[in-house]
Structure 1
Amino acid sequence: MPPETSIADAGTQPLPAASYTGGAGPDAEARRRRERAAQRRRAQAEAKRSRAAQRVRQPPRPPARAAAEHRSSLLIMVMTLGLLIAAVAVTGGLVAASRRTQPVTLTAPLHVYPVTQSAPGQCPAGTPGITGQASTGPVCYRLSQGIAIHKVSDLRVQRSKGTGYDVAVTLRPVDRRAFADLTRATVGRDLAFVVRERLVTLPRVDMAILDGKVVVTGPPDRAAADRLVRELKGR
């Protein structure tokens, strides 16, 4: 007779472990990922709340204080702008002054001679003089010992006090004493301004010039004054 079997025993036998995890494993892993993500979000939210709580909220400024600060800012801006404008003006003035004070180098030396006498006609050969052109024709101007000027502090055209133009020459300190001695000895007489053996102008000395500021009057118009400046420079 075959051995008896028990149905109840067969139904209560435990299943293999694989039969418990084969269908539930992926769902559990997904739940764990969702839980970790939710935890991270909660931690981030908590950190934001903590930082917001740590901030100190600045109380609003009173209107009077805000207005005073605004006026103070405007005043500082105006003062800064004023200082900048003043600095630019001073810098421009210094640049212009430096340009004016730069010496003017003459292309050829300017010789200044006292005129001892004059006579109509050309100067004879060997005569210590120079021939100039007057309204009546050539004139011989006899000259005595003079000075030579190679540079001047300034040389320009300016409007005369009356009508017409003047040519203003400012001598350097190195030439002022010699020119002062020359004009002191020739008051009421003529000085011959000679460049390259050519008589450029023949001004009369009204007074001794001690400060080195020479004003040659007489050019009738601006063109004649500009031409005189070029001739004095040796151009």
Structure 2
Amino acid sequence: MRVIPRRRKDRRGSQDAAPSAPATTWPASATAAGPSAGAEPSSPSKPSKPSKPSKGSGRAGGGGPAKGVKSAGSPEPSSAAAGGATGTLELEPGTVTGPVTGPVTGTESGPEAARRARSAERRRTAAELKRSRAARRRGTARRDRAAREHRSSMLAMIIMLGLLIATVVVSGGLFAASMRTRPVTLAAPLHIYPVTQTAPGQCPAGTQGISGQTSGGPACYQLSQGIAIRKVADLRVQRARDRNAYDVAITLRSNDRQAFAALTRATLNRDLAFVVRNQLVTVPRVDTPILDGKVMITGPSSRAEAGRLVRSLRGG
């Protein structure tokens, strides 16, 4: 089998006389290693006849063979070299060809690629879900820790506030109790005498008694041996039980309570004269023995009158 270039009619005789380059042969089937099984081998094609030289061309300058003449350097391909391939491959002049090297590669099949893509997507989804769950757990743990710290701080604050209130209450109660129990020093000693007899008019000179004013006029109160009080635990005005009058409350100290209790026992249903600076302040009647040192003088009809009685008993 030969491969010859095509003849062009417009070539000049000098060019026709030039020798042609050896043509490159190529098997008709690049992958065929021999004749196909069961197919009859085709006979090689007959060589083409050389073209007749055009008139007046002849040899030009003693060049190579003219068109249509087989080149000496072009070997004739054998059927064994062609590998049993049939047909001819005709190339354009000036075309450079070469063998095809390297394996032919292609893409994976559709189902396998889709399966791998789905598997990768599931793995990505699982990883993102795991990360999101871990982030939620961390956030929940932080919120729980912050809530516990907040509750602890609130509880501590409430406890501190309760302790502060209790301290204030106890301190206030103790202060009030101390104020109530703090001794009141009288400006002048308070003398308390049992009254043995009451006579109208002023007391005569040399009589052991004291003159006072009653609703019926002046009166003379004859007195016996009494006690003197210089300090009391409490002396104040308070509302009476019937809410229409006021009382004067006197709380004696412990060292005066026993003497006053003995005095009230001896003067039950009799009068006691309270005297300050030789002036009769009040003459109350003893209704019951007073053993705890808490004396209640009743009778003032107004707070102002009760206040004046308290100031007189203080020696003011």
- Structure with bigger RCO (C-alpha 8 Å, 6+ apart): 1
Matched residue SS, 1:62: helix
1:165 correspondence with 2:246 = yes
Matched residue SS, 2:185: strand
1:188 correspondence with 2:248 = no
Count of residue pairs brought into register by the alignment: 178
Q: Which letter maps to 2:164?
A: L
Residues in 1 aligned to 2:150 and 2:252: alpha-carbon distance in whole angstroms: 56
State the identity as a percent. Answer: 69
Greater fraction helix: 1
Cα deviation code 1:65-109 (max 9, x no counterpart): 322221121111111111112112212222222121110111111
5 Å-filtered alignment, 1:27-106, equals 61-106=141-186
Which structure 2 segments of 5+ residues have no match?
1-137
Tell me the residue number matched to 1:176: 257
Tell me the residue number matched to 1:24: none
| Consecutive aligned runs of 4 or more in structure 1 exceeding 2 Å deviation | 58-66
Greater fraction strand: 1
Residues in 1 aligned to 2:157 and 2:172: alpha-carbon distance in whole angstroms: 23
Which structure 1 segments of 5+ residues have no match?
1-57
97-106 or 170-179, larger mean C-alpha shift: 97-106
5 Å-filtered alignment, 1:18-33, equals none
Residue in structure 2 matching 1:222, options 300, 303, 307: 303
Residues in 2 aligned to 1:59 and 1:189: alpha-carbon distance in whole angstroms: 88
For normalisation by structure 2, the TM-score amounts to: 0.55
Residues in 2 aligned to 1:208 and 1:174: alpha-carbon distance in whole angstroms: 17
* Bigger Rg over Cα: 2
Residues in 2 aligned to 1:142 and 1:106: alpha-carbon distance in whole angstroms: 25
Residues in 2 aligned to 1:60 and 1:166: alpha-carbon distance in whole angstroms: 70
